[in-house]
């Protein structure tokens, strides 16, 4: 049983005893969890501190695809594509219940487009090698219509089918958290780092605060990894206040509509939109996920807003390819993720041209920061940063075990019981499981990341709030005041995930 209360008690005892961890990882998203699992797989003593909930940020707001990146192939970035395809293959092997092969259809309007995309995707297959998922094939018009019955036939000539993979990002994060604990590490949420402990200007620990009690702690460590995604610069400034920014964040918007707009089992890829990106239409958990955009931002809020023009762009582009085009009134949920794009020299650039590759730097204090990348390459990024830490610390003969490490309990056990809402596959027993076994401690944790209710249908999630409140009160003994606060916060969140008149 993974209980935050028990983990907090363990941490208090270790802090009082001035226990020294080998590695403290700051950040509980894909990169942080991956780095912590990698370090623990080498036999190191690992503590992970997350300031909010696991995968609260970008790591729960992806397009849910484990992919090499067709667009990066067109840009000639073969090394990035090859690495991602290799890691996609490892994800399929290491989390087979959570990561599944998915076929994609690219609609084409003439024979030239068909051969152009077929040749490019055959190269995609070659780069994947033995870790390939399935062969790229040409499709006749009638084959496309059978695969995607709701596709618009206007100007449709045929298509190209290729294969990638799909996964539930937040659930994979929870699987990594469980794996970390199985390996002897410890992770705790709602424990933001507020400062660093130093000796002779070198980082040898962190200061952190429990968000619920307000109690402060000092944790000692031989090495500290900053893996906080789009917030790495904030953490770097805790170490060195005049640190220059590493990132030029951009935001990607996704909309979710009902399955009848796209009842296919295969995904649709629009290979070139009006802004030069690609657009995915993906079946996901009984709904249809459509996205994404690439809009530069100067700030990095926890809950970024979708711009009206972004939503309109997604719906307009999807409507050009679907016979029954969804409208704003059809949107069940809209969510926004921030990309931690590494910008050379911190100069302002078009975010579509900024590298999706990752960067690892070591500050004069010894603080190691890793950022950039994407979900598909989380494991190789983690291996690289922990390799560096081992080299810096002189830890030899500690190779990673994560290349072939099966993730722990990577799929939530289905519990018997009646669904608490007709539009969601969630019952009271599963809510209790999230609280008692998966460290969910708020209404949002349960309805956004242990289940995906908020992302699938924001208003249905709101209707489930009382049932979650009841379980939290029974299991965690929260006061009415605390639960009222959580309800108010969740209502505000639902308003952001619902398509408002100004969005």
Residues 240-270 have pLDDT tens digits of 999 999 998 999 999 999 999 999 999 999 9
Given pLDDT bands bounded at 50, 70 and 90, which one contains residue 114?
very high
CA 194/CA 25 separation, integer angstroms:
14
273 CB neighbour count, 10 Å cutoff: 16
Q: What is the dihedral of CA 241, 231, 275, 323, to 10 degrees?
A: -170
**What Å distances lie between residue 326 and 86, 165, 317, 330, 423, CA to CA?**
36, 25, 10, 6, 18
pLDDT at 425: 87
Q: State the average pLDDT over residues 280-305.
A: 95
- Reply yes or no on whether the pLDDT at 347 is more than 50: no
Q: And the tokens for 402?
A: 């994560």
β partners of residue 103 = 163
What whole-number percentage of the chain has pLDDT above 90? 86
Q: State the average pLDDT over residues 151-170.
A: 97
Q: State the average pLDDT over residues 443-450.
A: 98
pLDDT at 502: 60
- Reply yes or no on whether the pLDDT at 386 is more than 90: yes
DSSP 107-136: EESSHHHHHHHHHHHHHHHHHHGGG--S--
pLDDT at 255: 98
Tokens 């226990």 correspond to: 19
207 CB neighbour count, 10 Å cutoff: 15
CA 467/CA 463 separation, integer angstroms:
9
Given pLDDT bands bounded at 50, 70 and 90, which one contains residue 363?
very high
Q: And the tokens for 377?
A: 């390459």
Given pLDDT bands bounded at 50, 70 and 90, which one contains residue 140?
very high
CA 163/CA 92 separation, integer angstroms:
13
Residues 224-238 have pLDDT tens digits of 999 999 999 999 999
Given pLDDT bands bounded at 50, 70 and 90, which one contains residue 70?
confident
pLDDT at 501: 55
b/e map 85-100, b = 16+ CB within 10 Å: bbbbbbbbebbeebbe
DSSP 239-279: H-TTPPP-B--EEEEEEEEEGGG---SSEEEES--TTS--E
Residues 414-436 have pLDDT tens digits of 666 788 898 898 999 999 999 99
Q: Which residues contact 116 (CB under 8 A, 6 or more apart)?
A: none
Cα-Cα-Cα-Cα dihedral sign, residues 168, 42, 357, 29: positive
Q: And the tokens for 60?
A: 């729960």
pLDDT at 350: 42
pLDDT at 418: 81
- Reply yes or no on whether the pLDDT at 213 is more than 50: yes
pLDDT at 284: 98
Strands 99-108 and 158-167: antiparallel
Q: Which residues contact 166 (CB under 8 A, 6 or more apart)?
A: 64, 65, 66, 99, 100, 101, 102, 267, 282, 284
- What 8-state DSSP symbol labels residue 446? I
Q: What is the mean pLDDT of the chain?
A: 93
Residues 73-94 have pLDDT tens digits of 877 888 889 999 999 999 999 9
| Nearest of 290, 336, 308, 303 to residue 490 by alpha carbon | 303
The burial class, CB within 10 Å (0-12 / 13-18 / 19+), for 274 is exposed
Q: State the average pLDDT over residues 453-478.
A: 97
3-state helix, strand and coil shares in percent for the chain, rounded to the nearest 5: 40, 25, 35
Instruction: Walk me through the domains of the chain, giving residue ranges and CATH numbers.
Output: 4-58+171-245+348-404 (3.50.50.60), 91-166+248-339 (3.30.9.10), 428-497 (no CATH)
pTM: 0.95
pLDDT at 349: 40
CA 335/CA 306 separation, integer angstroms:
7
First-last CA distance in the chain: 41
Q: State the average pLDDT over residues 126-134.
A: 93
- Reply yes or no on whether the pLDDT at 461 is more than 50: yes
pLDDT at 413: 52
pLDDT at 361: 95
pLDDT at 44: 98
β partners of residue 338 = 251
CA 23/CA 125 separation, integer angstroms:
38
Given pLDDT bands bounded at 50, 70 and 90, which one contains residue 364?
very high
82 CB neighbour count, 10 Å cutoff: 17
479 CB neighbour count, 10 Å cutoff: 9
CA 101/CA 267 separation, integer angstroms:
11
Q: What is the dihedral of CA 209, 211, 213, 217, to 10 degrees?
A: -10
Q: How many CA atoms lie within 13 A of 430 on its CB side?
A: 23
CA 280/CA 271 separation, integer angstroms:
9
Question: Helix, strand, or coil here: 214?
Answer: coil
């Amino acid at each position: 049983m993974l209980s935050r209360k028990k983990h907090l008690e363990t941490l208090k005892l270790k802090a009082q005893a001035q226990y020294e961890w080998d590695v403290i990882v700051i950040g509980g998203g894909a990169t942080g969890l991956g780095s912590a699992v990698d370090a623990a797989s080498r036999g190191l003593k690992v503590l992970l501190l997350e300031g909010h909930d696991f995968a609260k940020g970008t790591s729960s707001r992806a397009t849910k695809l484990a992919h090499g990146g067709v667009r990066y192939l067109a840009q000639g970035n073969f090394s990035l594509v090859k690495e991602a395809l290799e890691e996609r293959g490892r994800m399929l092997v290491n989390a087979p219940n959570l990561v599944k092969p998915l076929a994609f259809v690219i609609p084409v309007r003439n024979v030239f487009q068909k051969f152009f995309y077929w040749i490019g995707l055959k190269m995609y297959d070659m780069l994947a090698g033995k870790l390939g998922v399935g062969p790229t094939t040409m499709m006749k018009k009638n084959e496309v219509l059978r695969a995607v019955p709701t596709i618009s036939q206007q100007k449709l000539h045929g298509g190209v089918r290729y294969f990638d993979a799909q996964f539930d990002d937040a659930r994979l994060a929870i699987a990594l958290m469980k794996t970390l604990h199985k390996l002897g590490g410890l992770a705790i949420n709602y424990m933001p780092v507020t400062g660093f402990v130093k000796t002779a200007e070198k980082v040898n620990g962190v200061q952190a605060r429990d968000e619920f009690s307000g109690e402060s702690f000092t944790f000692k460590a031989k090495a500290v990894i900053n893996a906080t995604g789009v917030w790495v610069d904030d953490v770097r400034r805790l170490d060195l206040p005049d640190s220059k920014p590493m990132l030029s964040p951009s935001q990607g918007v996704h909309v979710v509509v009902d399955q009848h707009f796209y009842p296919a089992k295969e995904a649709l890829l629009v290979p070139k939109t009006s802004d030069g990106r690609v657009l995915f239409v993906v079946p996901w958990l009984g709904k249809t996920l459509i996205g994404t955009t690439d809009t530069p931002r100067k700030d990095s809020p926890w809950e970024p807003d979708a711009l009206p023009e972004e939503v309109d762009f997604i719906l307009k582009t999807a409507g050009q390819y679907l016979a029954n085009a969804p409208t704003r009134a059809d949107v069940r949920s809209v969510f926004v993720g921030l990309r931690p794009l590494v910008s050379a020299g911190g100069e302002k650039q078009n975010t579509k041209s900024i590298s999706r590759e990752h960067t690892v730097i070591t500050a004069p204090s010894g603080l190691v920061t890793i950022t950039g990348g994407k979900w598909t390459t989380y494991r190789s990024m983690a291996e690289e940063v922990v390799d560096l830490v081992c080299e810096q610390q002189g830890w030899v003969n500690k190779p990673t075990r994560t290349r072939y490490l099966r993730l722990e309990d990577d799929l939530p056990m289905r519990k018997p019981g009646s669904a608490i809402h007709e539009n969601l596959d969630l019952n009271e027993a599963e809510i209790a499981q999230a609280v008692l076994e998966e460290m969910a401690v708020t209404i949002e944790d349960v309805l956004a990341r242990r289940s995906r209710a908020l992302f699938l249908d924001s208003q249905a999630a709101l209707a489930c709030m009382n049932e979650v409140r009841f379980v939290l009160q029974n299991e965690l003994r929260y006061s009415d005041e605390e639960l009222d606060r959580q309800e108010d916060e969740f209502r505000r969140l639902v308003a952001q995930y619902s398509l408002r008149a100004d969005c």
